[in-house]
Structure 1
Amino acid sequence: MTTLVVILAVLAAATLAGWLLTRRSGRIREIDAGPQRDTGDDVAALGLSRDGPTVVHFSAPWCGPCDRVRRVVDQVCADLGGVAHVEIDLDAHPDTARRYAVLSLPTTLIFDADGRQRYRSSGVPGAADLRSALKPLLA
């Protein structure tokens, strides 16, 4: 009987830990830009648009959820218009990923037309959340 209770307690703890780790997945959070810095390197390294916001997402061929991010971002960019979309392969550009502290895939960054990073999401962002983050940057 004690063994059964221990097993159930471990399963409950593991389930709770998994839920806590994944509940923030895909949430778009605003970045505190802090002091203004030169964004010329960002524009060159990431291929950012100077005409409007740019959604940059880091992916890899072996990343299953990255396909879902691509579909969501493509759809939102097509719906809104004026939003550039850049996909960066983590395996091909590890230094760029390190520079932006990409620790997991998929990771999505949103930059404004001035090249400043404004939002970040780890996981698959929801289309509505992505739209809400991008609309003010189009104004």
Structure 2
Amino acid sequence: MTGITVLVVVAILAVATGFYLRSRSGTVRTVRNTDSETDALRPLLLDAGVTADTATVLHFSADWCGPCAAVRRVVEQVLNERSEAREVELDIDAHPDLARELGVLSLPTTFVLDIELRRRSRIAGVPTAAALRSALDAL
């Protein structure tokens, strides 16, 4: 009887965790940076092809990541409407140091960077076009 109870509790916790994680997927979160964090990230970002001349939508992906294709489509749609931002897509396997420094734990993960390379927003999962627009509007 105790084994069944433990199994039921574990199943309930797993389902609750799944619902919680799904509810956060695609949500834009504001990022608070310190100058020292921004300074430490700057060389890694520049080496990865991010430039400090315009706002940037930076997203990490991988060949094996199915939802990353959806992020590509959303980013392309939003940036086709705007000329003040550019897209940089990085393969997490090719840029593990930058991914580690940015705390990327899952794919897809997207960041909105201002022209000073400060992280302004972070989106785990596939953002909606409206969510990405609002993150860019906040710049």
Task: Report the 3-state secondary structure (helix = DSSP H, G, I; strand = E; otherwise coil) of the residue aligned with 1:67.
Answer: helix
Distance in 1 between residues matched to 2:13 and 2:101, nearest whole Å = 35
What's the counterpart of residue 131 of structure 1? 133
Superposed displacement of residue 108, structure 1? 0.3
User: What CA RMSD, in Å, does the superposition of the two structures yield over aligned residues?
Assistant: 2.3
Task: Report the 3-state secondary structure (helix = DSSP H, G, I; strand = E; otherwise coil) of the residue aligned with 1:108.
Answer: strand
Task: Report the 3-state secondary structure (helix = DSSP H, G, I; strand = E; otherwise coil) of the residue aligned with 2:72.
Answer: helix
Query: 1:12 and 1:70, CA in 2 relative to 1: closer, same or farther beyond 3 A?
Result: same
Paired residues for 1:57-72 under 5 Å: 57-72=59-74
Task: Report the 3-state secondary structure (helix = DSSP H, G, I; strand = E; otherwise coil) of the residue aligned with 1:54.
Answer: strand
Instruction: Name the aligned partner's letter for residue 89 of structure 1.
Output: D
Distance in 2 between residues matched to 1:42 and 1:92, nearest whole Å = 12
Structure 2 runs not aligned, ≥5 long: none
Structure 1 runs not aligned, ≥5 long: none
If the length of structure 1 is used for normalisation, what is the TM-score?
A: 0.83
Query: 1:34 and 1:15, CA in 2 relative to 1: closer, same or farther beyond 3 A?
Result: same
What's the counterpart of residue 86 of structure 1? 88
Superposed displacement of residue 73, structure 1? 0.5
Paired residues for 1:85-104 under 5 Å: 85-104=87-106
Q: How many residues align?
A: 135
What's the counterpart of residue 107 of structure 1? 109
Percent identity over paired residues: 46
Task: Report the 3-state secondary structure (helix = DSSP H, G, I; strand = E; otherwise coil) of the residue aligned with 1:23.
Answer: helix
